[in-house]
Structure 1
Amino acid sequence: MKVEENISNFPEVLGTSSLNRDAAVSHLATIEEGRMNDASSIHPPSFSESQFDVILRRQRPRSRKHNGLKVTATPSRFVHACDHFEFAGWGSVSYLDLTPEDISFGEAKCKIVAEAPTVGPWTASAVAANDVCGSVFYAFPAVVAVAGVYSPVSLFIATLILFLWRPIMEELSSAFRAGGANYTFLVNVTSKTLALAGGAITLLDYAMTVVISASTTSEYIAGEVTLPFPVYVGALLIVAVPLLVSLLGMKESARTALGILSFHMITMLTLSIMAIITWAKRGNGQIRENWNAGHSPSSRHIVAQVFNGVCIGMLGITGFECSPDYVITVRRGQFPKVLRNLHLPVIPLYSILMLLVLAILPIQTVNGGLNVLSILAQETGGEWLRILVIIDACVVLSAGVLTGILSACALCERLANDKIIPGVFLFRMPYTDAQIVAITAFVLLSGVLYGSAGANQRIISSVFALTWLTVMGLFPLSLLLLKFNRGRVPRQRRVSLSWTALTLAITVVVFVGNVAMDPKTVGYFSAYAVGIVFFFFVNSNKVQIIRYIYWAYDQTPLLHQWSWARRMSSIFMRLLTSLRQQPVCVLAKCDEIHHLFRMVMYVKKNEQASCLKLVHLYENVEDIPSEIEANAKLLDEAFPEITVDLVFVQAPFTPPVVAALAHKLDIPRSLMFMSSPGPESNILLEDYGTRIISL
């Protein structure tokens, strides 16, 4: 081709605003001169060259016969009904200019995130620590019931096991510094289906936190005074206070949580000191009596009791799984200190306090109910200390209820943005900004769980233990998938594969141990988990479900004779179209067809979208991959149900540009996908807010 012929079509292809015409003439003239001088030195054509010198591929003409829809020779599964919704429109190639106003908007968005208040490791620890340290009130009686006099040993071993999870959580949180914990980890390292299950189990964990915190508080109060109503009514009343607080838009302050934690630790320290003084005065008579009454002469039975105690003792460290939810509020590099602050205090607290209980109280009293610590306070300090312990139990456990509600709201917001639950969960009250739908639905879910368990504290504790272990098992599983599927993601910590596998194996062993002690609790756990997963699955696959219903209508000729059935089919068609209207965006760096194909396949399998924006950011036109347009057209041909639009944006790949692009395309950043940045990259994924979908 001649330069004049090339350049005559140049503006039509690239757009007049994308490239200076004189520069284009000079560029093409240089190319042609080089070819004439030495044909053997030709390199693979650049994008700008391929537009004029290389006939890449030709799409077949797009017929207007079918209203511009893609057509295929493959027979339709819908024989009698219209199947136009099966085929999306043809894709296009366009150039998008980001105006200075768009860039300013993106910078403002990023500035809000960058200037969000962060807290230090001690303050950040307090939010989850109220759950971890508050679990002492319901864990002790459950552990003594199975481990007896070996309870201090079981609790000591259970707290030591947490050393396995700390480096795993550090690596995951340094790779994906965002809220949502296991759901966020899984959705970035594997399919959305597994992430959906992880989100369901995490939500169940939050609900069980609310249930056991409220029921334990009510049981504690009922053990001290005579209530004019049943214990389950008291539990509902206790939930009402945090519910009202959350509906008023009052969010859990880290400083308030630190104050509650400080009060709890001072109370436990006071109780421990008074118990040590009492033990010194009374001597070892009581602990010797308890030992003689509960000691087993068989080594096999001792090991079994200690193991069972470890399995149940995991209840004592529930709340530790919530710590990654707050990683975004912690100053960079401080999250390992948060895990340290959460873990180390509970090692002496639980084992020593359990030993003091057995040294002062008869083991029959410890097995008698939940009010173990208040009875210990009465024996060691008198009425004033008992009242202090009761107040502490009510305050710290109520804080646990509020933590569960707010954590669930944050998770529901993430799930709604990712189209796993209905968008109505994002609705906020006008003045308080509270997520009224999410809060109400979550509290109702907690009430259903409590009622279906018959308000039985033993069943609730056992189900909570299984739920917690499942959530903790998702951390090593997420890390294994991260290493295999997204190994190039930069992160500060690297845990060995053997360490990760050992942690997962121990989780399975402890889970099986809990099931073996009470097999029927696995039925409750399975029913709850399957119920929530089913709700998530139905909502995230509603397009496919409606297609099944529509197919059933198509295969039933009798229905085609009824006018109401025909109207229903039209409604189904409109519904299918509207549910797939939200486009998604894939940020493509290269033009390799196999890589682009995998990314489109991810969208097809995991998203209910009929339009995919394939966006390539470039700074110089010569840097655009030469085959990207041709391959985008191939993908547009290969997926009739998805419109593949190729969009070129002349801008650097930076967080403000991505935020501006999301605003310009009207696509949430949670629905913008990209491949893993390399280990040498300086990219911080939390600044972009996009999802990682390929290696």
Structure 2
Amino acid sequence: MEVDAVLHGLIPSKLSGGSLARRNSFVEKSILKTVEVEAKQLESRLRPDITLITKDLRCKLFERPGLEGVDSFLEDCRREVRNGLGDLDDNKADGTMGATYFMEGVPYLDTSAEDDNGHKIGELASTAICGNDITASCFYVVGELSRNAGVYAPLCTMLSSATLYCFRSVYAEVVTALPLNGGIYNLLLNSSTKQAASVAACLTILSYTATGVVSSVSAADYLKCSPMFGDIESVPTAIGILGFFAMLMLMGMQESSAVASLLFLFHLSTLFILAVFSVFFLQDEGLGQLYANFAWEKQPPFANSIFFGFSSAMLGVSGFETSANFVEEQKPGVFPKTLTNMWVSVSVINIFLPSLAIAVIPLDDLTGSKAAYALAVLAERVGGPLLRDIVAIDALLVLSGSVLTSYVGVVGLFQRMAGDRCLPEFFSETNSWRGTPHYTILVFFAVCSSMCIVLDGDIGALAAIYSISFLLVMGLFAFCGLWMKINRPTLPRPIESHPMFFVIGLLLVAFAFTAVVLLHPEMLTYFYVYYGITTLMVMLTFARENIFTAFLTLLSHSKVAGAAIKCIMHKDVAEMWIRTKLKTLRNQGVVYFTKSASISQINRAVQYIEQNEEARWLKVIHAYTEDEPIPPNLLEYVQMLDCVYPKIKIDCIVVRGEFSPELVQYISTRLSVPVNSMFINCPKHNFKHSLDRMGGVRVILNSEKASLLEGVSGPTPTGPSPLSPTLDNSYPEGHQGMR
């Protein structure tokens, strides 16, 4: 089908008449403008700048004569499928069969150039960005931990440190094997289905939401501990902090590695000074308060203290996954160092600060109304109002930095998911003023504010929701890391960790998760509501083709629906918009790079795309060099699969050039297919390029393993393969093609 015909099908002839011209509402103008833009984009996709492979060109490329019998057989198959496309025109891309192409004019691409890592950030800056997030948790953990564990709080933090030690190995193996931004979403996207990755990403979104809310409320509490701001309300102040950073994000502000480094050093210095003052205080005053706290009448039993205290202590290591979300911006070898640095810093801080607080402050004060700003109380006790104000300023700055981190993280994740077609496209839209994704920022601000209002700024309840989402993300990471060991065995792993680290880490996280649920069962309702809303948005995105089709059917057959839509816009405008959306969804191209002519592998790739992608146009691409000619039968295999899957248009494109990141980018630009819609098999240890250099190419399949029976002597099959190059160019008498 020609492009003009396709575009003509988008615009009913009625729209050129006077009925629509007399009614140009704002909604209709917006829809018509959208249709025009998407029609132009569709036109560029349907006219690829590549050469159709003719019989003569195929003989030249393959250096063998054409297979007349095979051509005749495939043409019969394609003719019968084409005759049946009348009922499938709305489902199969542009309603045509696939074709075979040769990409000419590929320029010389220098694949020997090494990456320029000068613009990437080093160990200090990387540690600072994620360290500010994870070490800021001490401001709201000390009080909550003391409530649940009492004098046994240091033991709980030691257990959380041991858990983090296990996850240091888990994250090191998984993220260095798949060094791409996205955390758990990236892990599942490259080892499981797209739907599973999206559902898991919803947990990360909820974790970012809880991070922003908890950090803003805690910052407001520490601000309130100063007499100058003692009359402020926590909830309005927290919403004000969230709104302030939303405005900064709308103006284009991003995290600065230099500012983060200075803030991190100031934060560590403040905590060090607080610890030194506390030690001097204990030297002067003695350990009388510690002995008194050991006799605290509200002290829970030892087992309960460890069980529930461990769940609170795990909140103190939240943010450990932050480094995995910007691994592409880090210099080579930096990521494992950031994990070690975070583990050391948070272990020291979370063990010593609760110990000092218990030795200095009565547990009644530490677990009472002052628990929300426990470190400020400790600072005032050991150093007076000046040290209290310094700690409060430090808390305000570092916790505000965590709010900014949550904004930056959720914006990046939303844009990544929208680019992968897991969320509606409007989340990736940017404004013309500052080039920022305003819809994402405003939606995130609204969700955070609603959570703050619904829970009335209760730091304990907010911390419970944060713990639930964070622990689920960590548990999924350990489980999926084990799954990847099984499902992606050939994937190169610069760091290999023993499976026991994954198992122990998963069990400890499950232990903490159970404690949180038992301690705050009422918080599960709020968790389900917010997680359900996020997941529903993702599921609706995956089902939008069915939704559009159902709505179009309803408009065509229901007079009530037609009358209702006329109250808003012209019925033909609505139908035109829906048809445009459907054609745009189905004509989104995806690319699968194949190294060999394996019909089994290509078939599995088609099945993956059919189950995980809305696109119904697959381009199977093979890159070859003069030393490695095009595999025999590749074109025939693709044409056969094009007949087997009548709802998917499957093209085969051969490209002369070495498969490399540069070639991937060139093909992406030339075919107007984003790199994150390009797929490959799981690379092996001899793969020349690391995945982080591939620009976001997705791993969807394992390379097929050799059969255990391969090499076992047995009877030789008689008769040639139907697609063998030595096949006689004739078919059995009476052959009529595929029925």
TM over 0.5: yes
Question: Contact (CA 8 Å) 1:70, 1:640: kept in 2 or not?
Answer: no
Equivalent residue for 2:735? Answer: none
SS in structure 1 at match of 2:377? helix
1:457 aligned to which of 441, 459, 471: 459
The aligned amino acid for 2:268 is M
Work out the CA distance in 2 between the residues paired with 1:166 and 1:145: 28
Give distance in 2, aligned partners of 1:154 and 1:294: 20
Other-structure match for 1:577: 583
Letter in 2 for 1:616: H
Choose the corresponding residue for 1:252, options 241, 248, 255: 255
- Report the alpha carbon displacement of residue 635 of structure 1 after superposing the two structures with TM: 1.3
Residue 689 of structure 2 corresponds to which residue in structure 1? 683
* Equivalent position of 1:85 in the other structure: 90
Cα offset, 1:59, TM superposition: 2.7
Query: What residue in structure 1 maps to residue 144 of structure 2?
Result: 142
Pick from 234, 238, 241 the counterpart of residue 235 of structure 1: 238
* 8 Å CA contact 2:168, 2:339 repeated in 1: yes
Name the residue aligned to 1:30.
none
Residue segments in structure 1 that go unaligned for 5+ positions in a row: 1-9, 25-46, 77-82
Q: How does 1:312-327 map to 2 (within 5 A)?
A: 312-327=312-327
Q: Residues 566, 214 of structure 1: CA spacing in aligned structure 2 closer, same or farther, 3 A cutoff?
A: closer
Contact 1:196 1:536 in 2 (8 A): yes
- Matching residue's letter, 1:282: E
The alignment partner of 1:127 has SS state of helix
Deviations 1:498-551 (A, max 9, x none): 332332232222211110111111221122112101101111331123234456
Q: Matched residues in 1 for 2:428 and 2:553: separation? A: 32
1:284 corresponds to: 287
Equivalent residues of 2:117, 2:331 under 8 A apart = no
In the alignment, structure 1 residue 51 sits paired with structure 2 residue 56: no
Contact 1:156 1:351 in 2 (8 A): yes
Q: Which amino acid aligns with 2:684?
A: G
Q: CA deviation at 1:563?
A: 11
Alignment of 1:12-31 (within 5 A): 12-13=54-55, 15=57, 19=60
Kindly tell me: are residues 622 and 321 of structure 1, through their superposed partners in 2, closer, same or farther at Cα, counting changes over 3 Å?
A: closer
In 2: Cα distance, 1:529 partner to 1:660 partner: 39
Equivalences for residues 500-511 of structure 1 within 5 A: 500-511=502-513
* Counterpart in the other structure of 2:357: 357
Q: CA 1:500/1:54 → structure 2, altered by over 3 Å: closer, same or farther?
A: farther
Cα distance in 2 for partners of 1:614, 1:99 equals 17
Q: Distance in 2 between matches of 1:458 and 1:391?
A: 22
Equivalent position of 2:472 in the other structure: 470
Tell me the equivalent position of 1:588: 594
2:104 aligns with one of 97, 104, 123: 97
After superposition, the Cα gap between the structure-2 partners of 1:663 and 1:392, relative to the gap in structure 1 and judged at 3 Å, is same
Which residue is equivalent to 2:603? Answer: 597
Per-residue displacement from partner, 1:286-331 (whole Å, max 9, x unpaired)?
A: 11111011586x9xx3022112101111111111111101211221
Q: 2:296 aligns to what SS in structure 1? A: helix
Q: 1:71 is matched by which residue type in structure 2?
A: G
Q: Between 248-257 and 652-661, report the one with greater CA deviation.
A: 248-257
* Equivalence for 2:660: 654
Identical aligned pairs, as a percentage?
24
The aligned amino acid for 1:427 is E
Worse-matched range after superposition: 673-682 or 460-469:
673-682
Conserved? CA contact 2:160–2:314, under 8 Å: yes
**Distance (whole Å) between structure 2 residues aligned to residue 205 and residue 599 of structure 1:** 33
| Residue of structure 2 equivalent to 1:34 | none
The answer to whether the Cα contact below 8 Å between 2:242 and 2:449 also exists between their aligned partners in 1 is no
Q: Is the 1:676–1:692 Cα contact (8 Å) retained in structure 2?
A: yes
- Provide closer, same or farther for how the CA distance between residues 487 and 55 of structure 1 changes in structure 2, counting only shifts above 3 A: same
Provide the residue aligned with 2:615 in structure 1: 609
1:202-217 equivalences under 5 Å are 202-217=204-219
- Alignment match of 2:153 (pick from 143, 151, 154): 151
Indicate conservation of the 8 Å contact 1:98/1:660, yes or no.
no
Which has the larger displacement, 485-494 or 596-605?
Answer: 485-494
1:399-435 CA deviation, whole Å, 9 max, x = no partner? 1111111111111221111011222222334454333
Q: 1:561: how far off? A: 12
Counterpart for residue 41 of structure 1: none
Is the counterpart of residue 219 in structure 1 residue 221 in structure 2?
Answer: yes
Q: 1:288 is aligned with what amino acid?
A: Y
Displacement after TM superposition at 1:125 (Å):
0.6
Task: Tell me, yes or no, if structure 1 residue 264 matches structure 2 residue 271.
Answer: no
Confirm or deny: 8 A CA contact 1:90 1:636 kept in the other structure: yes
Aligned-residue offset at 1:251:
1.6
Structure 2 CA distance for partners of 1:562 and 1:193, relative to 1, 3 Å:
closer
Cα distance per residue 1:643-689 (max 9 Å; x no partner): 00111111110111111010000000000111111122222111112
The answer as to whether partners of 1:490 and 1:678 remain within 8 angstroms in 2 is: yes
Q: Which amino acid aligns with 1:351?
A: I
SS of residue paired to 2:64: helix
- 3-state DSSP of counterpart to 1:584: strand
Cα distance, 1:334 vs structure 2: 2.1
Report the AA paired with residue 97 of structure 1.
Answer: E
- The 1:345–1:382 alpha-carbon spacing in structure 2 relative to 1, beyond 3 Å, is same
Instruction: From the superposition, tell whether residues 555 and 171 of structure 1 become closer, same or farther in structure 2 (CA, over 3 Å).
Output: farther
1:329 — aligned with what? 329
Cα displacement (A) at 1:611:
0.9
Instruction: Check conservation: 1:148, 1:294, Cα contact below 8 A.
Output: no
Classify the secondary structure of the residue corresponding to 2:333: coil
**CA distances 1:613-634 after superposition (whole Å, capped 9, x unpaired):** 1111111397222121111112
State the partner residue of 1:537: 539
Instruction: Confirm or deny: 8 A CA contact 1:149 1:294 kept in the other structure.
Output: no
SS of the residue 1:645 aligns to: strand
In structure 1, how many angstroms separate the alpha carbons of the residues matched to 2:663 and 2:550?
A: 41
Correspondence for 1:631 among 634, 637, 660 = 637
- Partners of 1:172 and 1:265 lie apart in 2 by 29
**CA drift at 1:61:** 4.6
Q: 1:516 to 1:99 in 2, by over 3 A?
A: same
Structure 2 match to 1:80: none
The answer to whether the 8 A contact 2:141-2:316 is kept is yes
Cα 1:267–1:559, aligned 2, differ >3 Å: closer, same or farther? closer
Residue pairs, 1:178-577, within 5 angstroms: 178-225=180-227, 226=229, 229-294=232-297, 301-368=301-368, 369=370, 370-430=372-432, 432-550=434-552, 567=572, 572-577=578-583
Structure 2 residue identity aligned to 1:85: D
- Deviation per CA, 1:460-488: give whole Å up to 9, x if none: 11000111101111211221232222221
Work out the CA distance in 2 between the residues paired with 1:233 and 1:562.
41
CA distance in 1, matches of 2:321, 2:281: 36
SS at match of 2:277: helix
Give, in whole Å, the separation in 2 of the partners of 1:624 and 1:243: 53
Q: Is the 8 A contact 2:177 2:491 kept in 1?
A: yes
When residues 324 and 539 of structure 1 are mapped into structure 2, their CA distance, relative to the original with a 3 A threshold, is same
Q: Identify if the C-alpha distance between structure 1 residues 547 and 504 changes in structure 2 by more than 3 Å, giving closer, same or farther.
A: farther
**RMSD between superposed Cα atoms in Å:** 2.9
Aligned residue pair count = 641
Does the 8 A contact of 1:188 with 1:692 survive in 2?
yes
Q: Mean Cα displacement is larger for which, 556-565 or 497-506?
A: 556-565
Where in structure 2 are there 5+ consecutive unaligned residues?
1-51, 703-739
> 2:169·2:501 contact (CA, 8 Å) conserved in 1?
no
Question: Residue 637 and residue 120 in structure 1: after superposition, are their counterparts in 2 closer, same or farther (change >3 A)?
Answer: same
- 1:28-75 CA deviation, whole Å, 9 max, x = no partner? xxxxxxxxxxxxxxxxxxx4436347636623558999xx956169xx
Question: Structure 2 CA distance, aligned partners of 1:107 and 1:390?
Answer: 53
Distance in 1, Cα, partners of 2:503 & 2:290: 40
